[in-house]
Amino acid sequence: MTSTNDAGEPLSISAELFDELYHYFKYASSAYSPVCLRPNGNALVLQFGNHLSDIQGFIARDDGRKEFVVALRGSASVTDALLDANILLVPFLTPGVKLPPHARVHAGFLAAWDTVALQITAALTAARRLHPGHRLVTVGHSMGGALATLAAVSLLQLFPASPMLDQTRTYSYGAPRVGNAVFAAHVNAEFGARAYRVVHTDDGVPTMIPTSLGYHHHGIEYWQHADPPAPSTTLRCTGGGGEDPCCSASVPSSGVTPAHATYLGITVPTPFCL
C-alpha cells in the first residue's frame, strides 16, 4: 500500500488494495436489493430492516475471509431524504457505546442507525458464538456509508477484539460527513488505516454537508480522481485528518452527480446475491 511521497502528496494505491475496495463495494451495492440470499456469494446471516425509518441491509458471513460483513443501504426513499436533511449535530447516544464528551454526529444518521442497531447486535452476538474467530466489517454507499461508520464505532465497543483477532474495519463509498472534528478524531484514533473512505471523481455527496456547519470527515480517503477506475487513478489521501485539500475536498460540491451512482466500475444498485 502506498501513501504519500516525500512532499506529503497522495500517491496511487496498490492493485491489492484496489481489489479489496472493489470487493467490499459489491456488498454495499447489494444492500439496495430487498432480498440478497447469497451476498457476494457468501452465507446470509440476517436481512434486517425497519419500516419506520426505511433502513435496510444484511449481515453476511464469509468463512473464507473469516468475517461478518454488515452492509447498510443508502438513501432510497422520501423517509431517507428526511433523515439526510436532519443535519443537527447531537451527542452519540446508542446503548452500550460511549464516545468522548464533545463528540457530535449527524442527528438523522444516528436516528437511522438506532432503529436497526439492536437487530444487528443481537444477530452478531448469536453468530459470533458459533464463529468466534470471525472479525467484523461494516460497509455502505451514500447514507449507508455514514451508517456503516456509526455501526463500526458501535460494534468496536460492543464486540472488542481479542489480541489474536483483527479489529473491526469499515468501508464507505460516497458517504457524506458524519460528525464533528472530535468524532472524526475518535474514529481516526480507534480505526487508523482500518477506516476506508472512498470517493469517485466529482461525487458531491461527500462534501455536500459543509465543514462550516461544524462537520469534519474521518479516516483515510481513497479518491478515484479519474476514470476508468484503476489503482493508478486512485489516490490514498492522508492529509488533514480526513480533510485532505489535495483530494476530493479540492472539488467544489455539486451535490448528487452521476459519479455518485457508480463506484469502481459498478453501478448502484447492482446486486451480487448469488
- On whether residue 123 sits in a domain, the answer given is yes
Cα-based torsion angle of the residue sequence 72, 78, 82, 84 in order, rounded to the nearest 10 degrees: 40
Tell me, yes or no, whether 274 lies in a domain: no
**Tens digit of each residue's pLDDT (9 = 90 or more) over 199-245:** 999 999 999 999 999 999 998 999 999 999 999 999 999 988 999 99
The secondary structure of residue 162, as a DSSP letter, is: P
> Contact, 196 vs 219, CB < 8 A?
yes
Contact 209, 171 (CB under 8 A): no
Q: Which of 5-19, 90-104, 199-213 is predicted with the least confidence, judged by mean pLDDT?
A: 5-19
**What is the DSSP pairing of strand 169-173 with strand 135-141?**
parallel
Q: Using pLDDT thresholds of 50, 70 and 90, give the confidence band for residue 164.
A: low
**CATH number of the domain encompassing residue 166:** 3.40.50.1820
Q: Which residues are catalytic?
A: 142, 203, 260
Residue 191 has pLDDT above 50, yes or no: yes
Give the 3-state secondary structure of residue 148: helix
Mean pLDDT, range 84-96, rounded to an integer: 92
What are 160's three cell numbers?
472488542
The verdict on residue 25 lying in a domain is: yes
pLDDT bin (cut points 50, 70, 90) of residue 84 is confident
Per-residue confidence (pLDDT) for residue 17, from 0 to 100: 98
Nearest Cα to 73, choosing from 163, 128, 147, 5? 147
The answer to whether residues 233 and 226 touch, using CB atoms and an 8 Å cutoff, is yes
| pLDDT exceeds cutoff 80 at 81 | no
Residue 57 lies inside a defined structural domain of this protein = yes
Is the confidence at residue 55, as pLDDT, over 50? Answer: yes
Q: What is the pLDDT of residue 179?
A: 98
pLDDT of residue 6: 44
Task: Output the nine-digit C-alpha cell for 222.
Answer: 481513497
Residue 129 lies in a domain: yes
Provide the grid cell at 97. 457505546
Residue 72 lies in domain: 11-267
Contact 253, 208 (CB under 8 A): yes
**Which pLDDT belongs to residue 160?**
86
> Which amino acid is located at 126 in the chain?
A
What is the mean predicted confidence (pLDDT) over 14-34?
Answer: 98
228 upstream amide cis, omega within 30 of 0: yes
CA pair distance 138, 114, nearest whole angstrom: 15
How far apart are the C-alpha atoms of 23 and 6, rounded to whole Å?
30
Position 41 pLDDT exceeds 90: yes
Burial code of 9-29, b = ≥16 C-beta within 10 A, e = fewer?
Answer: ebebbeeebbebbebbbbbbb
Count the domains in the chain.
1
Average model confidence (pLDDT) for the chain? 93
Tell me the C-alpha distance between 201 and 224, whole Å: 6
Across the range 40-45, mean pLDDT stands at: 98
Q: Is the pLDDT of residue 4 over 60?
A: no
Model confidence at 77, in pLDDT bands (50, 70, 90)? confident
Region of poorest pLDDT, from 5-14, 121-130, 175-184:
5-14
Is residue 4, in this structure, part of any structural domain at all? no
Q: At 10, list the grid cell.
A: 497522495
Which helix (H) or strand (E) element contains residue 268?
Answer: none
How much is the average pLDDT of 249-261?
94
Find all residues with CB under 8 Å of 163, minimum gap 6, and list them. Answer: none
- Global pTM exceeds 0.85: yes
1: in domain: no
Q: How far apart are the first and last CA of the chain?
A: 31
Residue 8 C-alpha cell reads as: 506529503
Note whether residue 5 is domain-resident: no
